[in-house]
Structure 1
Amino acid sequence: MPDVPAVIASPRARALALCALLLAALYAVAALAPLPYTVMQPGITADTLGKYRGVQVIAISGRPVRQTTGQLRMTTIEATPPGERISLLHALAAWPDPDRAVVPSEAVYPAGRSVRQVDLQNTAEMRQSQDAATAAALHHLGLQPDQVKVTLHLADVGGPSAGLLFTLGIIDKLAGDGSGGDLTGGRVIAGTGTIDSAGRVGPVGGVALKTQAAARDGATVFLVPRAECSEAKVNTPKGLRLIPVDTLDGTLASLAALRSGGRLPTC
């Protein structure tokens, strides 16, 4: 049998093969290298009328507390932990997903601030939000802080965005709709928004992800700060009704219209 001649690659072919290997290695490094971005996604929701991790979210003493039906669910978003940078592959997979958002890490974890500092700020904002929510609810009900004690428990959740839902929960537990019924009308209602002691509702961010969390946990109505209607309408889950709000009184009026089948504002 005649010998089969060996195939000897030319210098040009060897150079091209080496370049291809180097290029593939560079692509692999780029795809796996950590990026200064964070992936955000729908987080937990919690019923302010019920318990969270076995603890009553709203505890009231000094006044009778009503037995309520329905739910008032505050909503959250989750972010990639600060020490866990995402890769290009991770980012490309998350970008088209309506349940996730890719944002610069500094938007969540400001440069120069430690994780502990961010956590402390979020905790302080949550406490301030709880105080404002209690003040707004008691003012609406004509009660003084020395007449009733309200304690809010929501472990491991920071930031001010649960203010509106805390206020509604306190009012529902103490007075309901004023005629013996519930604010919710038995529905699962979710929402977000800051609130101040005067009852003004403010925007919070991440609304498009919070609507996903709300629908996932059974809500059919979502209370959204009016200034964030446009964001809330992006990929709104099917069957979730958006109700814009900007004050506590306006929110209560909308809930009354919802219970009675009246006309409701829309985004």
Structure 2
Amino acid sequence: MTRPSHSEAPSRPRALSRPRARALALSAVPLVALLAVAGFAPLPYSVARPGQTTDVLGTHRGGEVISISGAPVRKTSGQLRMVAIQATAPQVDIRLGEVIDGWLREDRAVMPRDAVFPPGKSDAEIEKHNIAEMKSSQHAATAAALGFLKKDPDRVKVALRLEDVGGPSAGLMFSLGIVDKLDGGGSGGDLTGGRTIAGTGTIEADGTVGAVGGAALKTQAAKRDGASVFLVPKAECAQVQPAPDGLRLIPVTTLKSAVQALRALAKGGAGGSVPSC
């Protein structure tokens, strides 16, 4: 068998011919131009960040968030804070640099614009849509809470006031606020146990809790505003991991499961009776 000679010098790379080098240089021009255009062209994304939190047991803009008539109302302690995210409006142009920055930051989320806002609508139409969803959510929250407490909706009247937040994701917290004001923890104490509880989740009239968007950003807003506990739809537990330091995550599927978890937590959570993500 003939073996290769180790005395042979290694072959040297040959220089590109001028025509080929020129062709490669010219082919790079469209790529550079494409990147330059992408850097300045608007992209179909929305960048979200942690938004405001509001204590539904308290006041907002001079009035009670939850007003109840037709039944005795308890004086509460602690807080139940609904949480919102703030997203760039559909008419705002998002550039490549903002998208990259959003991907790199933990306090930002980049989402397809159509996943955040109804497509093809103006800012005014979207605001109207969000307000309608909030009103529908408030009606469902009232029905769920009164149904859970077995209160007659013809006798007990609930008014919910939170005009500057749209969408359905405060439903769970509205229901819990009504329950706390009417019944507390069920044995004379507060449903909150004196804590600052935050959370998110839609609510159906039968008490079913639904998933929402931006849950991970909402945990950051909750921690920022003093919450030690965050209620999250069970289906979104993975999305909120890891939680901000010092924030306990409790998964819920129904209004009943949320009330049971908070009552157990108020009693000290003995025996592992409080679920966790």
**Shorter-chain TM band:** 0.7 to 0.9
Is 1:255 equivalent to 2:235 in the alignment? no
Shift of 1:176: 0.8
TM-score, scaled to structure 2: 0.84
Task: Tell me which residue corresponds to 2:275.
Answer: 265
Residue of structure 1 in register with 2:74 after alignment = 66
DSSP 3-state at the match of 2:239: helix
Q: Which runs of 5+ in 1 are unaligned?
A: 1-18
CA shift, 1:64, in A, is 2.2
- Counterpart CA distance in 2 for 1:201 and 1:23 is 48
- Which residue of structure 1 lines up, in the alignment, with residue 11 of structure 2? none
For structure 2, list consecutive stretches of 5 or more residues without a partner in the other structure.
1-26
Aligned to 2:16: none
Deviations 1:2-56 (A, max 9, x none): xxxxxxxxxxxxxxxxx99999887555323322211011111110100122221
**Aligned letter for 1:222?**
F
CA contact (8 A) 1:109 1:115 kept: no
CA deviations 1:71-122 (Å, max 9, x no partner) are 0001111111222111111111121111101112222233322223322221
Structure 1 residues 62 and 35: alpha-carbon distance in aligned structure 2, compared to 1, 3 A threshold: same
SS at match of 1:75: strand
Give 1:83-232 correspondences, 5 Å limit.
83-232=91-240
User: Which structure has the bigger radius of gyration?
Assistant: 2
Q: Percent of counterpart pairs with the same letter? A: 60
- Please give the secondary structure, in 2, of the residue aligned with 1:41: strand
Report the counterpart of residue 245 of structure 1 in structure 2.
252
Runs of 4+, deviation exceeding 6 Å: 19-26
Q: Distance in 2 between matches of 1:25 and 1:43?
A: 37
Aligned length: 250
Moved more, 218-227 or 87-96: 87-96
Amino acid at match of 2:249: L
SS at match of 1:95: helix
Find 1:40's aligned residue among 39, 48, 59.
48
Q: Which residue identity lines up with residue 160 of structure 1 in the other structure?
A: P
The 1-side partners of 2:36 and 2:213 are apart by: 35
Q: CA deviation at 1:175?
A: 1.4
2: distance between equivalents of 1:204 and 1:108?
11
